Structure 1
Amino acid sequence: MSDPLQDPRFFANPYPTYAKLRGAAPVQKVPTGSGGRYSYLVTGYAEAREAFADPRLSKNTARFFAGQPSRRDIHPAVSQSMLATDPPEHARLRTLVTRAFTTGAVARMRPYITGLVDTMLDEWPRHGPVDLVASLAVPLPVTVICQLLGVPEADRKSVREWSSELFAAGEPQRADAASHAIAGCMTDLIAAKRARPGEGLIDDLIAVRDGDDRLTEPELVSLAVLLLVAGHETTTNFIGNAALALVQHPDSLRRLREEPELLGGAIDELLRYDSPVGIATFRYSTEALTLGGTEIPAGVPVLIAPGAANRDPARFSEPDRLDLDRDTRAQLAFGHGIHRCLGAPLARAEAEIALRALITRFPGVRPAVPAEELRWRHTRLMRGLESLPLLV
């Protein structure tokens, strides 16, 4: 059996593959990559929620790769980030950055985000197609997170390109090179901030590192890289996916235009319908366990698929239908448990503001090309469009 997650048809539309796999078993052994490698893939909702919170599934990839030769050259700032830690290290690192993404902190950023969106949409042509990904879904979250971290404007285009290459499926050399480029950029930024301190989040982390040594230098660089990449990748994909879902469902689009107060609640259904994270980053079993009736041995990789779990008919009736009245607050697009995306409040705010402006300012917005001509990113981790041509 070939790797079902590398088929070109999977990138264009993963949901038939997810449904077929889930129909066979909510947790099963699947080939991943070449050379006889395999992982256990979790596609059922109940099983995914359980797996996200199971301490026997470790995120500390270093302990599993210790002593094993590797053909990869991923910078440690990427391969050994906070995402690849377990308690208590994970809690220590997460606590240092959580306050920047609280509901209150995000609320204070809403006027800034709204201004950015208005400025970007002011530049849209009033006739002819416009690419929503290139002109809104990419620059908005990149600008916001770069502003939060203090990344110079001159570096922001490169940051986006490197970040995209980190997730290029089947192209390890590109991903490895991008990891070094983005780590180098953050190392240079930290040095510049030390020379000329400011008031950004990076400055706060430097103060922690240089003040009482609660952060090592590699941890400081790794946190900066993680915040930069995670701070925009998911949001970019979500804005594009959500906009596409709405223009493909005119009745839902019309309803949100007539009742814009519903948009806040609709965000969860849009996240469920086409999750911006298809398959979460690797976990490894620290001991043998049984999940969804499947026995998983110790020391093997486990992949949890929020994109599949969010379309599980055992949890959501008619899961392939967009339903703005559905209660989907339990959707798993941002994960679950201690590793749940800490930037979720910021991502939700950016998407809500962007979609509200799109809906209200362009009442005639519609797709500019047929669905089969849309280009999707070739990455199993992220689910996102390369471009979304719209007529406004």
Structure 2
Amino acid sequence: MSTSATTGTARTDPAVNLTDPDFLADPYTAVAALREQGPAVRAAFLDGSQLWMFIGDEEVRSLLSDPRFVVDPASVPGGRGQDKRLELMRQLGISEDLTTYLTEGVLDHDAPDHTRLRKLVSRAFTVRRVSELRPRVEQITDDLLDALPGHAEDGVVDLLEHFGYPLPITVICELVGVPEEDRPLWRKWGHTLVTMGSERMNDALREMVDHIRAMIEQRRSEPSDDLLGALIRVREENGDRLTETELITMVFTLIMAGHETTAHLICNGTVALLTHPEQLDLVRRDPERLPAAVHELQRWCHPVLMTRLRYTAEDVELGGVRLKVGEPVQALLLGANRDPRKYTDPDRFDITRRPSGRGEEHVGFGHGPHYCLGAALARQEAEVAFGKLFSAYPELEPAVAEAELEWMPRPAMRRLVRLPVRL
């Protein structure tokens, strides 16, 4: 039996408000309670409007891979997709001339534009390039770990500030080609953007765009072997290449996505391992378990809780819900990653889980055509970070109780404000 997407009672009584303090404080418990209503629930979006949110693994995978669900409202026939992104940009006070850099990236397009952009950047963002970067990732990690004692105050170090963030921002900036002296700027700009609502958001965005444009101009006069140089040179067989705006937006997306999520995966994962000493002991005794541990951490505490909105390009039924063309929908990744229909005892953190088939079982990096471009790099960084962190500091322990950890109140991400530890 299916439920109509136009049911009046459903629209006036959402099951979850994404900005509700209880949801922000403990989204895992909140989603577990929602499961009693089925794989789809009504939710109040950030702008107060309502939409269908899918929380089951099967439904989430369908939503992310079925071409009838599109990320660009302009892909909805007849102009029946209301662009909620633009409304959100207005609410945040983002200038119209800057909005394009937040709404026109590779993640915001459907085929064929998405296919073209992804293919062009994939030629530069290769597995070989990522693999060749591993020795440098290890060196950066060692240097950061060696420096940790110097950051201690009364024996306490903020691992987010001095390890979680510096590692991925350094790696992605080196990969892209951001000069070392400019990397602190990206850290500052990134912090301004993720806090959302800051009066400095427009300034930060404009400075980011100007900085990328200056780097592009320099690479065109002085070709380089870094990722930015490769993106400038890459062409399709038919001569297609990235436009100036696409280049700027691509670099912006790669740098922001390439450090924010990885920084918090490392820190969320550190908390998970420290609070599950039997699991940490398995990793310490057998480092070969690190890849499996990272996959389980991606399932259990990945910082990205939900995807950006999708829109129905035609009438469709999913999870027992009949959706009309143009309906906004959202996939809750944390719901899929803890779906009891897929995982035995899904709320248990267990690095010995064995996948039932080939490839990833979790959707920490998404699924379908918009699967994360930098997934291999993020996994590599996390494996190196955890392996070296717990080897360098075998007595590492939290400096505060788990209940006292402060989480940033953002509905789409599970981010710590800081991670105080004793070395």
TM interval, short-chain normalised: over 0.9
Are 1:146 and 2:173 matched, yes or no?
Answer: yes
SS in 1 for 2:22: helix
Are 1:23 and 2:36 matched, yes or no?
Answer: yes
Of 255, 268, 292, 2:319 maps to 292
Task: Spell out the pairing of 1:175-214 with structure 2 (5 A cutoff).
Answer: 175-208=201-234, 212-214=239-241
Task: Spell out the pairing of 1:1-392 with structure 2 (5 A cutoff).
Answer: 1=13, 4-34=17-47, 36-63=48-75, 64-65=81-82, 70=87, 71=90, 72-73=94-95, 74-125=98-149, 128-168=155-195, 171=197, 175-208=201-234, 212-328=239-355, 329-392=360-423
Q: TM-score, normalised by structure 2?
A: 0.86
Query: Structure 1: how far apart are the matches of 2:85 and 2:249?
Result: 22
Q: TM-score, normalised by structure 1?
A: 0.92
- Asked if 2 retains the 8 angstrom alpha-carbon contact of 1:209 and 1:220, the reply is no
Query: Structure 2: how far apart are the matches of 1:61 and 1:177?
Result: 27
Query: Structure 1: how far apart are the matches of 2:369 and 2:346?
Result: 26
- Asked if 2 retains the 8 angstrom alpha-carbon contact of 1:256 and 1:359, the reply is no
Per the TM alignment, residue 27 of structure 1 is displaced from its structure 2 partner at its CA by: 1.3
CA RMSD of aligned residues (A): 2.4
Residues 8 and 177 of structure 1: is their aligned pair in 2 closer, same or farther, counting only changes over 3 Å? Answer: farther
Query: Structure 1: how far apart are the matches of 2:106 and 2:401?
Result: 40
**What CA deviation, in whole Å up to 9, does each residue of 1:53-78 have, x standing for no partner?**
01011112455457998535353122
- Asked if 2 retains the 8 angstrom alpha-carbon contact of 1:376 and 1:384, the reply is yes
- Runs of 5+ unmatched residues, structure 2: 1-12, 76-80
- Asked if 2 retains the 8 angstrom alpha-carbon contact of 1:75 and 1:183, the reply is no
SS in 1 for 2:17: coil
Query: Structure 1: how far apart are the matches of 2:301 and 2:120?
Result: 31
**What CA deviation, in whole Å up to 9, does each residue of 1:101-157 have, x standing for no partner?**
443322211100000000000011187111111111101110011111111223222
- Asked if 2 retains the 8 angstrom alpha-carbon contact of 1:282 and 1:302, the reply is yes
Residues 67 and 364 of structure 1: is their aligned pair in 2 closer, same or farther, counting only changes over 3 Å? Answer: closer
**What CA deviation, in whole Å up to 9, does each residue of 1:228-274 have, x standing for no partner?**
11111211111111111000111111121111111112111111111
- Asked if 1 retains the 8 angstrom alpha-carbon contact of 2:134 and 2:380, the reply is yes
Residues 164 and 69 of structure 1: is their aligned pair in 2 closer, same or farther, counting only changes over 3 Å? Answer: closer
- Asked if 2 retains the 8 angstrom alpha-carbon contact of 1:165 and 1:178, the reply is yes
- Asked if 1 retains the 8 angstrom alpha-carbon contact of 2:304 and 2:412, the reply is yes
Letter in 2 for 1:45: D
- Asked if 2 retains the 8 angstrom alpha-carbon contact of 1:163 and 1:182, the reply is no
- Asked if 1 retains the 8 angstrom alpha-carbon contact of 2:299 and 2:364, the reply is yes
- Asked if 1 retains the 8 angstrom alpha-carbon contact of 2:18 and 2:43, the reply is no
Tell me which moved more, 77-86 or 112-121: 77-86
Letter in 2 for 1:53: S
Query: Structure 1: how far apart are the matches of 2:349 and 2:86?
Result: 46
Tell me which moved more, 347-356 or 306-315: 306-315
- Asked if 2 retains the 8 angstrom alpha-carbon contact of 1:283 and 1:303, the reply is yes
Letter in 2 for 1:46: E
Letter in 2 for 1:89: D
Letter in 2 for 1:87: A
Residues 6 and 146 of structure 1: is their aligned pair in 2 closer, same or farther, counting only changes over 3 Å? Answer: same
- Asked if 2 retains the 8 angstrom alpha-carbon contact of 1:129 and 1:390, the reply is yes
Letter in 1 for 2:66: D
Query: Structure 2: how far apart are the matches of 1:107 and 1:69?
Result: 38
- Equivalent residue pairs, number: 390
Query: Structure 1: how far apart are the matches of 2:189 and 2:411?
Result: 17
Query: Structure 2: how far apart are the matches of 1:150 and 1:69?
Result: 31
Residues 179 and 342 of structure 1: is their aligned pair in 2 closer, same or farther, counting only changes over 3 Å? Answer: same
Letter in 1 for 2:182: D
Per the TM alignment, residue 177 of structure 1 is displaced from its structure 2 partner at its CA by: 4.8
- Asked if 2 retains the 8 angstrom alpha-carbon contact of 1:58 and 1:284, the reply is yes
